[in-house]
Amino acid sequence: MKRRLSPLLIGFLALCLIGQGFLQRASIFPRWVRDYSPGEGKMVSEGLSPDQMLFALTGFREMIAGILWVRADSFFDSGNYDAILPVIRLVTILDPKQIDVYATGMWHIGYNFTDEEQRSDRRYIPSALALGKEGARQNDKTYEMYFETGWMWYHKIDDSYPNAVKWFETAQQQKDMLTARKNLLSNAYERNGEVDKGVDLLYRLFDDAKANAAKKDAAYGDRQNRDTLENKLDTMLVRTVQRGYVAQKEGRPLTGYDVNPPFDVGFSVKASVVEPRVIRFEGTWNVLPVGTRIRAVLKDADYPNAEPAGMKWDMSNSVNLDPPRDKTFMQDQLFVRNRRFNRKVDMSKDPTMYPFTSDRYLLEFYYNPRSAPPHIQDKFSWNGEGMTDKNFLNTEIRPGQRVVYATLELTKDQILRRGEWQDRVPVVRTKNYAEKATNADDVLLDIPSLRTK
C-alpha cells in the first residue's frame, strides 16, 4: 500500500522552497554580483549552461570550484586541453579569488593550443589577455595577475612592449611583489626603448639589494640577488656606451661606436607551396653570427584588427573561449644559419587551426632588433641604429624603430594547390632574391675567427 505525503509535510517543503527562492533573490544573488561576478557589466550567465548556473548560485561556489579544478588535473595529464577551457571559465566565475586558476588558465590558453609542429594558435591570445585582465580586476591587491598579464605581452606577444611595461609597473606597485621578479621590468624598459628608465630601475633595485644583503639576518639569496643586480647594472652601463646610446643623448656623432656604420642585412625570401598547405621559405640574411630569427606570418589579407606582422591583441574585455574558426593566423621563426634560412612549414595536419577560408593571404616577414639577443644588439643597438637594408628597411610600422619588413601575397588556390596550381608549384619571391643563394643545405656552421679576412 503506497504511503502519501501528509499535507503538513507538503506545505513545509513548499515553504522551504519559497524561502530558498526569497533568500536567493534577496541576499545570495546580490552578494554574488557585488563580490564575485566578473564585473564591468558582464552577464552572469555568459558561457554557462543552465546546470552550471544552478551550481553557481546555490552558495557552494568555493567547494564546487575546488572539486572542478582537481578534475581539471586529469584533463591536463591526458592532454585533453579542449575540455579544460570550460572548467577554467566555470571555476573563475564560481570563485574569482582563485589566482592560480587565472594564472594557469592564461598560460593554458596562450601556450597550450598548438599544431603538430608546436606552433601556438595565436587566435587564442586575445582570450588569454581578457582572462588576465579579469583576474587582475578581481585580485587587485596582489601583484600576481598584473605580472602574468605583463609576461604574456613581454614573452608570448613579444612586440607590443608598452603594454608589457604598463602591466609590470602595476605589479611593482603591489606590496607582495617578489624581489626576484622585479628586475624583469628593466628588460621591458629596454625593449620599449626606455633605456634610461631601465638603468634607473637597476640602480634602485641594486641599492635595495645591498641594504638587504648587509642585514645581520641576510640569507644567501639576498647576497645572490645583490651580486646578480650589480653584474646586470655594470653590463647595462657598458652597453649604453658601446652602442652609442650615451653619444646620441649628448648629440655627438656615432663615429667609432659599434653601431657605425650600419650593417646591411641583405634580406631576401622565396616562398614555395611544395604541397597543399605546406610552404618552404628560403632566403638570405647577411649576418654571420648565429642568433637571428626572422618572424614569418601568414594570415588572411582581411584579418580583423590586423597590424603589420601581428594584430591588435588586446581586442576584448570578454573571455571568449572560441577563437575565430574561419580565420588563419600562422606565425613561425626562420632561423638563420650561414647567412641564409631554409624552413618548411607544414600546416596540412591542422585544418581547424588553418582553415584557409579566405581568397587572399598575406605573407609577412619581420625583424625587430629589440627582440634580438644581446650579441646581435651590440651591433644593431636597441632601435636598429646599426642595421639597415637597402630594400626592406622600415621606420614607420614601429614608431621610433628601424625594422626589416617585407610582404608577399598568396591566394587560397595556391596554398591548397587547386585549379591551375594542381600540377605546378606556386612560388612568390622578393625582387632581390637570387636562386643560387640557398641551394646548399650546410650542416656545419661558419664561425668567425681572428684569421677571417
Distance of alpha carbon 46 from alpha carbon 325, whole angstroms: 20
Express each pLDDT in 363-374 by its tens digit: 999 999 999 999
Q: In this predicted structure, what is the pLDDT of residue 46?
A: 46
Chain-centroid distance, C-alpha 314: 11
Whether residues 289 and 424 fall in one domain: yes
Domain assignment of residue 6, yes or no? no
Whether residues 414 and 333 fall in one domain: yes
Q: Which domain holds residue 185?
A: 180-242
Q: What is the DSSP string of 196-216?
A: HHHHHHHHHHHHHHHHHHTST
Distance of alpha carbon 435 from alpha carbon 415, whole angstroms: 21
3-state SS assignment for residue 441: coil
Specify which of 27-31, 43-47, 288-292, 441-445 reaches the highest per-range mean pLDDT: 288-292
Domain assignment of residue 204, yes or no? yes
Domain assignment of residue 18, yes or no? no
pTM, two decimal places: 0.83
Domain assignment of residue 55, yes or no? no
Domain assignment of residue 92, yes or no? no
> Quick one: cell of 19?
524561502
Q: What is the DSSP string of 349-413?
A: T-TTTS---SSEEEEEEEE-GGGS-HHHHHHH-SSSTTEE-TTTEESSSSTT--EEEEEEEEEHH
Tally of CA atoms within 13 A in the half-sphere of 1 that contains its CB: 0
For residues 87 and 69, the answer to whether their CB atoms sit within 8 Å is: yes
Q: What is the largest CA-CA distance in the chain?
A: 107
Whether residues 311 and 421 fall in one domain: yes
pLDDT tops 70 at residue 429: yes
What is the average pLDDT across 103-114? 92
For residues 294 and 336, the answer to whether their CB atoms sit within 8 Å is: yes
Whether residues 238 and 269 fall in one domain: no
> Quick one: cell of 217?
639576518
Average pLDDT, the chain: 87
Number of domains in the chain: 2
Whether residues 215 and 277 fall in one domain: no
Domain assignment of residue 67, yes or no? no
Whether residues 360 and 212 fall in one domain: no
For residues 343 and 332, the answer to whether their CB atoms sit within 8 Å is: yes
In this prediction, residue 5 has a pLDDT band, given cuts at 50, 70 and 90, of: low
Whether residues 434 and 385 fall in one domain: yes
Domain assignment of residue 56, yes or no? no
- Coarse DSSP helix, strand, coil percentages of the chain, rounded to the nearest 5 percent: 45, 15, 40
Q: In this predicted structure, what is the pLDDT of residue 450?
A: 47
CA distances to 177, 190, 205, 233, 277 from 200, rounded to whole Å, are 19, 12, 9, 9, 49
Q: In this predicted structure, what is the pLDDT of residue 368?
A: 97
Express each pLDDT in 131-159 by its tens digit: 999 999 999 999 999 999 999 999 999 99
Domain assignment of residue 254, yes or no? no
Indicate the residue type of 232: K
Express each pLDDT in 198-235 by its tens digit: 999 999 999 999 999 999 999 999 999 999 999 999 99
In this prediction, residue 30 has a pLDDT band, given cuts at 50, 70 and 90, of: low
Chain-centroid distance, C-alpha 37: 27
Q: In this predicted structure, what is the pLDDT of residue 27?
A: 63
Percent of the chain with pLDDT over 90: 70
Cβ neighbours of 307 (radius 10 Å): 13
Q: In this predicted structure, what is the pLDDT of residue 449?
A: 56
Express each pLDDT in 328-376 by its tens digit: 999 999 999 999 999 999 999 999 999 999 999 999 999 999 999 999 9
Distance of alpha carbon 360 from alpha carbon 32, whole angstroms: 48
Phi, psi at 258, each rounded to 5°: -60, -25
